[in-house]
Chain A
């Protein structure tokens, strides 16, 4: 990681040589416009960081259906295990675009002038399943029936400063108790969180619906509430490097246009899956190439369908909520105090698409 970042520093120091600087120069001379306009011009190479989650489906759709190519982008997908390394890779210049929840690590990278938010993707929506709040059978037996009962209970997270941490904060805030009134248990991995919840070692956690519902149905845990009930929440955002926003805004714009088409396709099919079953199946086929690829299709399909979350049309960003999140992270010492919205968000790429 450090090596890559140092590589970036070196690259930046040796300006005038790099691919990026050369392109910036070309754009400055007015050649960029010509390149962008003509499909005849050589496609521009762009690396997109992706996670094998259903919520990253627009990336796969735009890639598979040639929306990136339509914008003259020669996209290379680079796969990661977690969102934080994508942000680091964008900061180091190895990847151009990524999708992440807003976390302490991301805020820190933004504060260092490495990354910027350019759009919104997943959000909690009153009409759709979002993350559910689960409690263990043990806690249930002890009378925990709602989010308000979580006061004085333990709550599993991946890490401090993660979106799970923030959700815990929202739960506490909405129910009128302090975050400190819950015992937060960082367990690094979602698998470990589920294991700890099932075995009653933690009382509660928040998790995406396609994991929460089966656990609830199997009697391994109980859903006691939904995060969407806590108000609007911009869960994941689309981001790029700060250098891209300043040196290659046109490229960013084209990327966002293509990405918005991917989102539109997804919304049209996945948010109302019964309307056109054939289209739904085709979409599942497409996503299955990337998500749950290690399982046979018939086993993957229910998870993919159940994992259909709400994605914002046109990659619209709920700026007000982003600001609220930033304030919360700062208040809890999880984001740099000096980070401003100007530095975090570049609104020039809103709205994306037609």
Chain B
């Protein structure tokens, strides 16, 4: 203890105990990557030492080898191309439809009365259960695959947009009206930008759901596609390929998250 502190101590004074801090996680750029790398190294070690049976889980090096074979055979590009095409179509259509329905539910009483119960009733239905119906409705071609992803992304998007529109500051809308802006202008210039944070977070969720549904969508008549590749690996009990396929899905998830993060930084600069 230092001299003045001693003096205070004699008077019976002591520092107030510190109770703050914590609860404020900050991004640690390299910690995440290091943690992941460490985990994979540990997994590899367990496989090499025979602690994990190859029947249970292939070593990461085997999965990477499967991935390399896939890339060298040229099939990786085919699978990725097919899947990304379906994802792009299904997700874009689902997001656009979700924005439209969410806006309608957020702005018009009648639309709200119609859409909200419908969303509540249909959102929880696993889309995979509807696959047989989708085959009848949309056939076994691309349409049923796109539709599966579309339906999966539409509902979370509707909910996110509706919530976002509901949360747009009403005084901003009054302001728009007081300056004589048209209804369309108010929606375009005030409601949509105001709901943009919610729309972007809805896009994040729906993009993840779209990737989740990829495997289900490609159960039906898909020759190429990451989901079809994973299904085939499962059928053949080729666990190294299975894990390789899952790695591709993870990479897709990471990429989408990164792209949306960039979009958020660009579009939501005003939020700081």
A residues in contact (CB < 8 Å) with B: 2, 5-6, 8-9, 12, 84, 87-88, 91, 103-109, 112, 114, 159-162, 183-189, 191-192, 195-196, 199, 201-202, 334-335
Contact = CB atoms under 8 A, between A and B. Distances in A.
Contact of B56 (A9, A162, A187): A9
A201 B136 CA distance: 10
Interface in B129-165: 131-132, 135-136, 139-140
A127 B31 CA distance: 69
A114 B237 CA distance: 12
Contacts of B220: 186-188, 192
Interface residues on B, range: 20 to 34
B216 to A, nearest CB: 10
Interface of B: 52-57, 131-132, 135-136, 139-140, 219-223, 228, 231-232, 234-238
B246 to A, nearest CB: 12
A6 B239 CA distance: 14
A105 B136 contact: no
A334 B235 CA distance: 10
A108 B242 CA distance: 13
A192 B139 CA distance: 11
Contact of A5 (B55, B222, B228): B55
B237 A104 contact: yes
Contacts of A106: 237
Contact of A187 (B54, B136, B221): B221
20 contacts: A2-B56, A5-B56, A84-B235, A103-B235, A104-B235, A104-B237, A108-B236, A108-B237, A109-B55, A112-B55, A160-B235, A184-B223, A185-B140, A186-B219, A186-B228, A189-B132, A195-B136, A196-B135, A196-B140, A199-B136
A105 B235 contact: yes
B55 A159 contact: no
- The listed residue with most B CB atoms (<10 A of its CB), out of A6, A87, A161, A195, is A161
Given A103-B236, A104-B237, 8 more contacts: A5-B56, A88-B237, A91-B55, A103-B235, A112-B55, A112-B237, A159-B232, A161-B232
B135 A195 contact: yes
B235 A161 contact: yes
Contacts of B238: 104, 108
Contacts of B237: 84, 87-88, 104-106, 108-109, 112
A9 B220 CA distance: 34
Contacts of A160: 232, 235-236
A202 B56 contact: no
Given A191-B132, A201-B140, A186 B222 contact: yes
A185 B235 contact: no
Contact of A192 (B52, B132, B223, B234): B132
Closest 4 CB pairs of A and B: A108-B237, A104-B236, A9-B53, A105-B237
Contact of A159 (B56, B140, B231): B231
Contact of A185 (B53, B136, B221): B221
